[in-house]
Structure formats: C-alpha cells, structure tokens
Amino acid sequence: MIIVKTREEIELMRQSALVVSKTLGMLAKEVKPGVTTNQLDKLAEDFIRSQGAIPGFLGLYDCPSTLLCSVNEAVVHGLPTDRPLEEGDIVSIDCGAIMNDFYGDHAYTFEIGDVAPETKKLLQTTKESLYVGIREFKLGNRVGDVGYAIQKYCEDQGYGVVRELVGHGLGKKMHEDPEMPNYGKRGRGKKFLEGQVVAIEPMINLGTQKIKQLKDGWTIVTRDGKPSAHFEHDVAIIDGKPEILSTFAYVYDALGIESNEEDEFRQKALSL
Ligand code: MG
Ligand code: MG
C-alpha cells in the first residue's frame, strides 16, 4: 500500500533528505586517495548525530555501518573497509538519516582523482538517467514509466541496467511501497499519487547487467568486474509534479561544480 504524505510531512521529509545531502557534501571534501571508507563512515555518523538526526542504515536489517560505500565494481551495499581509496577509483556513497521520524536516503558516486574516460561517462550517464527518471514521476504516470525511461536512456548507450535492486517508496520506513525498478514498460504498474515520496536510484553497469553478492553477505558486485555507478534522490509529487527533496548542491559546492540540473524540479528556491 502506498502511504501518501501531507504537505507538512513532505516538509519534514525534506529536512531528513537535507541531512543526508549535507552529509554527502561534507564527505565530498574528504573523499580522496589514501582515505578509507571506514574513516568516511565514522565522519558521517558523527556528522549526522551533530545535526540532531540518527544514522538511518546503522542497525537496519543488521547493517553494521552508517554508510554503504561501493567501490569500482561494487554496485551497492558495499560495507566500509580499511582499504585506502586510490587514484582512479570510484565510490558510490549511499547514506540514510532519520529526522522527525522520517527517513532520508540518497547517494552519489564520487571520482577519486583522475578516472578513466569510459568510467567518467558511465557516471555522467547514470546521473543523467536519474533526472530522466524523475521527470516521469508525476501524476498521470505509473511505476513502469520511470523504469522505462531510465532503462532506455542507459541501454541505448550500451550500459547494463541492474534488475535485482530497485528504488522504493520512502517515509517512516526506509522501504515503503511501491518498488521502483530502473527498467519497465510504459503505462504499466501502480499509478502515482499526489503526496507520494519515493527514492529513485539507478544502478548502472559499464558492462553486463549481471551481478553477484560477495561472501560478506552485503556487497553487490558486477559479474564481469567492470565498474558500476549509483545516484539516488528522494522525490515527492507536489501539485502533480516531481519535486526533489534531496540535493547534490552541497557536493557541488565542495567540488566546485556548477550545475542547474535540479532547477526544473524545484517549485521553490532551496535555502541552503
Ligand atoms: Mg540509498
Ligand atoms: Mg534507496
């Protein structure tokens, strides 16, 4: 059952999302060669608590960490480790926070120094596909419209779209209805509703779409060992249109990136 939110609840969810956005922005300054994902995890936990929020992943489904850090061929659900990040790596950092009883859940894939051009293009395309999908999250559309749009955008460029892991409804639970696959058929699946909030999160592979889980019981990697990218936003339907509650603005501030890609999905200016 889809749990729709009131305007007031959506504003509370924006606060939860922004705690995660700020955490990713703080981490953006720290993600560099030599740093370990365990170090990033500690920084993130301290930062989230300093904001009056609670780490959203820690303890959920017995997750041992605040962050899920998926390096290179890891798709998602990578557990933090003591391996230092190296020049040329990529790392998807997925982070959750609970504030006002609502979850924020949001992810960005970072480049460590200079990465291979084909990997850079994978990241760019995956991020573009996130916005392509968000554009379809509106009244009159269905779950399959978002999935179709993301799948087509990525497969047309030769990438593998992961099937086994999907986006989801978001609220007082991390995973609410409906599941939001990154593949699908136009006009199929549940209808979208005013006040609905979902996490849209394309997981896109440079090579095969096929994945496997490592023996740690968490980390999902590509079967061919090629890199995978992951970007995630929390999005509400307000006045029939998609409104992104999270933002990459803090990451861009930290990295010196100019971007207007979120502008079309904001009905009011975001005060950072
Ligand atoms: Mg996430
Ligand atoms: Mg998610």
Give per-residue burial for 62-88: e unless 16+ CB within 10 Å, then b: ebebbbbbbbbbbbbbbbbeeeebeee
Tens of pLDDT, residues 180-217? 999 999 999 999 999 999 999 999 999 999 999 999 99
- The stretch 40-55 carries a mean pLDDT of 98
Q: CA 58, CA 263: separation in Å to the nearest integer?
A: 32
Position 144 in a domain: yes
Position 51 in a domain: yes
Position 218 in a domain: yes
Q: Ligand nearest 165 Cα, by number?
A: 2
- The stretch 52-66 carries a mean pLDDT of 96
Q: Containing domain of residue 150, as a range?
A: 7-265
Q: Ligand nearest 174 Cα, by number?
A: 2
For residue 106, say whether it is annotated as part of any ligand binding site.
no
Cβ(266)–Cβ(239) below 8 Å? no
Q: Ligand nearest 77 Cα, by number?
A: 1
Which of 152, 146, 132, 156 is CA-nearest to residue 187?
A: 146
- Confidence at 45, pLDDT banded by 50, 70, 90: very high
Which of 192, 191, 132 is CA-nearest to residue 159?
A: 132
Cα of 187 from ligand 1 centre, angstroms: 26
**Residue 269: pLDDT above 70?**
no
Which stretches within 84-243 are classed as H helix?
A: 117-134, 143-155
Position 270 in a domain: no
**Residue 272: pLDDT above 70?**
no
**Residue 169: pLDDT above 80?**
yes
Count of the separate structural domains present in the chain: 1
| Averaged confidence pLDDT in the chain | 97
Position 105 in a domain: yes
What is the pLDDT, as a whole number, of residue 267? Answer: 81
Cα of 216 from ligand 2 centre, angstroms: 20
Cα of 58 from ligand 2 centre, angstroms: 14
For residue 176, say whether it is annotated as part of any ligand binding site.
no
Cα of 153 from ligand 1 centre, angstroms: 21
For residue 77, say whether it is annotated as part of any ligand binding site.
yes
- The stretch 106-125 carries a mean pLDDT of 98
User: How many CB atoms sit inside 10 A of residue 178's CB?
Assistant: 19
Position 271 in a domain: no
Q: Ligand nearest 176 Cα, by number?
A: 2
What is the pLDDT, as a whole number, of residue 268? Answer: 72
What is the pLDDT, as a whole number, of residue 271? Answer: 65
Q: CA 80, CA 92: separation in Å to the nearest integer?
A: 11
Q: What percent of the chain has pLDDT over 90?
A: 97
The distance of Cα 249 from the centroid of its chain, to the nearest Å, equals: 14
> What residues contact residue 152 under an 8 Å CB cut-off, 6+ apart?
none
Position 64 in a domain: yes
What is the pLDDT, as a whole number, of residue 130? Answer: 98
Partners of residue 95 on adjacent β-strands: 67, 106
What is the pLDDT, as a whole number, of residue 116? Answer: 98
Tens of pLDDT, residues 94-109? 999 999 999 999 999 9
Q: Ligand nearest 56 Cα, by number?
A: 1
- For ligand 2, a single-atom ion, the residues with CB < 5 A are 105, 199
Cα of 248 from ligand 2 centre, angstroms: 15
Residue 121 belongs to domain with CATH number: 3.90.230.10
What is the pLDDT, as a whole number, of residue 257? Answer: 96
What is the pLDDT, as a whole number, of residue 101? Answer: 98
- The verdict on pTM exceeding 0.95 is yes
**Residue 255: pLDDT above 90?**
yes
For residue 175, say whether it is annotated as part of any ligand binding site.
yes
Position 192 in a domain: yes
**Residue 140: pLDDT above 80?**
yes
Cα of 188 from ligand 2 centre, angstroms: 21
- Confidence at 153, pLDDT banded by 50, 70, 90: very high
